Amino acid sequence: MLQRLIGEYINPRRGPMLICFGGMHGNETAGIEALENLFQLLNNEPKVNPHFRFTGQMMGIRGNLRALEKLKRFVQKDLNRQWTNDNVNRIQHTPTHLLSYEDLEIKEILDLIRHKVHTYKPERLVFLDLHTTTAYGGIFSVATDDTESIRLGVEMHAPVIKGLLKGVSGTTLHYFSKEHFHYNTVAITFESGQHNEQLSVNRAVAAIINCMRSLGMVMAEDVENRHDKLLIDYSKGLPKVAEFIMRHTIKPGDTFTMVPGYDNFQEVKKGEILAHDQNGPIRAVCDGRVLMPLYQKQGEDGFFLIRASDKL
């Protein structure tokens, strides 16, 4: 069985605690590889840069271990749709032998995080959830309504999608909040590109480093420009901020098939046929841009529509 903990970097200089998730979806391994690389970088840095200063505590956690072993999005249930209050309460009050695979994942992840957080008692607690998409074209972050989450997203130098949490429920962003962790908690998700692109790993590394810089865990002068450049280059031409319009939900038994060739952020016109299912063509309800068009079998979100926004 894979280890839950990817790595930890602890410094006596107290500060924020940054907890990064990789592989909440078992077919998205770029975030895990990025975290493995990052811990190597952190361990080497003091040897090559004697002025390197690190403040706080950084942790990398594997998400869905059982799905990662099968390289599938999930085994029984989508782990990134299970983080609702009711569901987590049910899991906490159910004997372990009655829990499903993804229930066990939630229980194990929460046990580990609560232990680590309560041991460190951070002034600030930040969760960064790393994902990739089946579609190409465009990296982005998904922010909560918290202005701090939006700020972290903007400073990652990738488009920030606002309001997406209204369209889905039970994501890590919904649960890892001030409501459940009393340590000035903020969460953000970063989508670093297509599942199998090697650059998705590099972009996730850059996003984590930018996040650590925004939090003051590493100093700006210690961060190489190539990390910013990688993210800025890849988001060229994309909106800085975009707002959620709608999500197409796939119901069990729908024979949903996305029309081939859509990329993240591709502009679409009202009425354009985006996909088909057993009821016929599925058209864009308005002008906008498509996000996360589904080109894999598992998953219940067919696609999202967003619109560029000037407002932060």
Q: For the segment 26-45, give every residue that binds Zn ion (CB under 5 A).
A: 28
Binding to Zn ion by CB under 5 A, coded x per residue (else -) over 131-150, reads x-------------------
In 51-201, which ranges are E strands?
57-62, 125-133, 140-143, 160-162, 185-194
The 8-class DSSP code of residue 54 comes to B
Which stretch, 17-25, 115-123, 173-181, 228-236, contacts Zn ion (CB under 5 A)? 17-25
Give the nearer residue to Zn ion in terms of CB position, either 9 or 262. 262
Establish if 62 lies at the interface with Zn ion (CB under 5 A): no
Establish if 174 lies at the interface with Zn ion (CB under 5 A): no
Which stretch, 23-31, 88-96, 262-270, 273-281, contacts Zn ion (CB under 5 A)? 23-31
Cβ burial of 43 (10 Å; 0-12, 13-18, 19+) is exposed
Which stretch, 128-136, 138-146, 181-189, 303-311, contacts Zn ion (CB under 5 A)? 128-136
Q: Which residue of the chain is nearest Zn ion when measured via CB? A: 131
Interface with Zn ion (CB under 5 A), residue total 3
Q: Could you tell me the two tokens for 97? A: 């032998």
Q: Kindly state the smallest distance separating residue 248's Cβ from Zn ion, in Å.
A: 17
Question: Is there a contact between 134 and 294 (Cβ–Cβ < 8 Å)?
Answer: yes
Which stretch, 10-18, 24-32, 60-68, 176-184, contacts Zn ion (CB under 5 A)? 24-32
Burial 168-190 (b: 16+ CB within 10 A, else e): bebbbbbbbbeeebebebbbbbb
Q: Kindly state the smallest distance separating residue 168's Cβ from Zn ion, in Å.
A: 11
Which stretch, 125-133, 201-209, 263-271, 290-298, contacts Zn ion (CB under 5 A)? 125-133
Instruction: Report the distance separating Cα 227 and Cα 234, nearest Å.
Output: 11
Q: For the segment 203-242, give every residue that binds Zn ion (CB under 5 A).
A: none
CB-CB neighbours of 1 under 10 Å: 7
Q: Kindly state the smallest distance separating residue 123's Cβ from Zn ion, in Å.
A: 29
Among 19, 25, 62, 217, binds Zn ion (CB under 5 A): 25
Reduced to 3 states (helix: H, G, I; strand: E, B; else coil), residue 40 is helix
Establish if 77 lies at the interface with Zn ion (CB under 5 A): no
Instruction: Report the distance separating Cα 300 and Cα 81, nearest Å.
Output: 10
Q: What is the 3-state secondary structure (H, E, C) of 81-120?
A: HCCCHHHHHHHHCCCHHHCCHHHHHHHHHHHHHHHHHHHH
Give the nearer residue to Zn ion in terms of CB position, either 122 or 193. 193
| Amino acid present at 56 | G
Establish if 195 lies at the interface with Zn ion (CB under 5 A): no
Q: Where on the chain is the footprint of Zn ion (CB under 5 A)?
A: 25, 28, 131
